[in-house]
Amino acid sequence: MLSALLVAVPACTDGGAEDGENDEFPTGKADGGIEEGSPEALGVLALVNDPAMSASALKSAAGVTTKVANNIVNHRNGADGKPGGGDDDVYDTLAELDAIKFVGPVTLAALLEAARDRGLIPSGGGASIDVMFSPLPAAESHNARIAKLIGEAKTSVDIAI
């Protein structure tokens, strides 16, 4: 019983969030996980893929341990250890992030919160619907509205006309 309890408690070696060496993210929403491709997943990936996010910045923003921050950034930056090089290996999926040592559900929760704090996840939780009628003056037309949406988009724009 005691050993089971010790396994369930995340390690906090330098005051930050850290999981066991091979802990894994929850599988699917029913288990408290994040679906690949969801706004939450994209926000977390944007956070960890940001070249300006050094290990110390990631530790500060997400409250993860130095070990976790270094593991995440070292993978992303590649063999030369510098962002923006030809050897960078940015995270394409949450599964790739989950494969990093000491990254698991506790770390994911911390990264998710940091992504929310930085505005990388839309707060409305979903799409908005606009209705426009034609004809309108050019500056107010559907073409102008679509151009504005595309210019403001962070990931994608879905439009039906």
Q: Which residue has the higher pLDDT, 47 or 19?
A: 47
* pLDDT on residue 112: 93
Tens of pLDDT, residue by residue over 36-68, are 988 999 999 999 999 999 999 999 999 999 999
* Cβ within 8 Å of residue 99, ≥6 positions away: none
* pLDDT on residue 159: 77
The Cα 28–Cα 13 span in angstroms is 28
* pLDDT on residue 7: 40
> Coil, strand, or helix at residue 64?
strand
Asked if residue 11 has pLDDT above 60, the reply is no
The Cα 45–Cα 39 span in angstroms is 10
Average confidence (pLDDT) over 6-31: 61
Asked if residue 72 has pLDDT above 90, the reply is yes
Query: Domain spans of the chain?
Result: 10-117, 127-161
Asked if residue 115 has pLDDT above 50, the reply is yes
Q: What is the pTM of this model?
A: 0.65
- The answer to whether 46 touches 115, Cβ cutoff 8 Å, is yes
